[in-house]
Amino acid sequence: MVRVAGREATSGLRPADVRRDLRGIADLLEEAFASELDEIGQRIIREMRFWSHLGWLLKGLEWFLPPGETFVPGYVWVEGRRVVGYAMVRRFRPGLEGWLIANVAVAPEFRGRGIGRALVSACLEYARAHGAQWAALQVRADNTPALRLYRSLGFVEIGRIQIWRREAWRAPFLPTLSSGIPGYRVRPARPGEASTLSAWIAAAENPAMRLFEPLGLLPMTLAPWPFSQRWKTLWMLETEGGEIVAIAVWIRREGALTLRAFLAGSGTPQHARWLVETALMGIPPRLPVMALTGEEPALSAALLSLGFQPIRTLIGMRCDLKAG
């Protein structure tokens, strides 16, 4: 059992308070994740600081919100009234019995003192007390201390997510596989195929992708893209007999145009490249794009050959809370 102080404590571990801690949490996240914050992350930090001036209003609104759905759900560690540690815990999403732990951060000069362990342990106890069957989180694959901590607390890896980026190209994109691959075809998906494609993707993606990057294929997903009347948001590569080998979907993720790619076990780098090349056609060449994949080597090889570079790999982890 983790010892948690009251909300008015000025040192040690205590529940986060939106009225008192929002700005301190923003400052801590900016410091702890300085090398990872993109434009979207910086905007969120600015918004947190803006709303910190209205903390009293947010505090009042929290009276109407259930546990795990408040504005800063989780715990802070304070030293001399300064927020030096934070971990968020909240319900994952409706319909799931799991809770999400995220934004685990400790100020650099306070690391190695057990603060991170105390924060995450408190989050797990809180989730369990409110009926959670499991908790999940994401961590960078190169964050060895965090991985060691989470494994010691019972988290196990459920899959990896690779994030890619292709900068704007100065020259128009010219496909190299325009002649295709004998026995296969690439075509845009049709609205009536949404349920079939959803089931195929659910079977192809790893559990981490399914949990942290859910993809809902609604009929509107199959509509033409505004860049071009001929350009589609969802492409599929299949055999001449109609067996699906790979799927590529364009989505908006954190404000960026992002390609979600899925490849069956029988898929090859040549299959993946042909599909991604086709999906890229019609994209303005000066527009940077992102890509999101699992750890399929064939997809990675195809993306590298088309100018994408890996940004980071995230490990999805899950902890069973039912036992105790």
CATH number for the domain harbouring residue 288: 3.40.630.30
Residue 283 falls inside a structural domain: yes
Q: Are residues 184 and 293 in the same domain?
A: yes
Residue 75 falls inside a structural domain: yes
**How many domains, the chain?**
2
Residue 222 falls inside a structural domain: yes
**pTM, 2 dp:** 0.84
Domain limits at 121?
A: 12-132
Q: pLDDT tens across 112-141, in order?
A: 999 999 999 999 999 999 999 999 999 999
Which residues make Cβ contacts (< 8 Å) with residue 5, sequence separation at least 6?
Answer: 11, 12, 13, 14
Residue 6 falls inside a structural domain: no
Residue 46 falls inside a structural domain: yes
- Residue 231 burial (C-beta neighbours within 10 Å; 0-12, 13-18, 19+): middle
- Looking at residue 175, what is its pLDDT? 55
Residue 91 falls inside a structural domain: yes
Which residues make Cβ contacts (< 8 Å) with residue 26, sequence separation at least 6?
Answer: 45, 48, 49, 52
Q: Are residues 176 and 99 in the same domain?
A: no
Q: Are residues 117 and 170 in the same domain?
A: no
Q: Are residues 309 and 170 in the same domain?
A: yes
Residue 4 falls inside a structural domain: no
Confidence at 189, pLDDT banded by 50, 70, 90: confident
Residue 155 falls inside a structural domain: no
Q: Are residues 230 and 289 in the same domain?
A: yes
- Looking at residue 223, what is its pLDDT? 47
Q: In what order do the strands lie in the sheet with 82-91?
A: 12-15, 74-79, 82-91, 98-106, 134-140, 309-320, 156-166, 289-293, 256-263, 244-253, 234-239, 184-188
Average pLDDT over residues 14-22: 91
Amino acid (one-letter) located at 64: F
- Angle of CA points 106, 112, 117, to nearest 5°: 65
Q: Which residue has the tokens 């899959």?
A: 159
In sequence order, the β-bridge partners of residue 90 are 100
Q: Are residues 276 and 179 in the same domain?
A: yes
According to DSSP, the β-strands at 309-320 and 156-166 are antiparallel
Closest to 238 (Cα-Cα) out of 205, 262, 214, 203 = 262
Q: Which residue has the tokens 């205590």?
A: 14
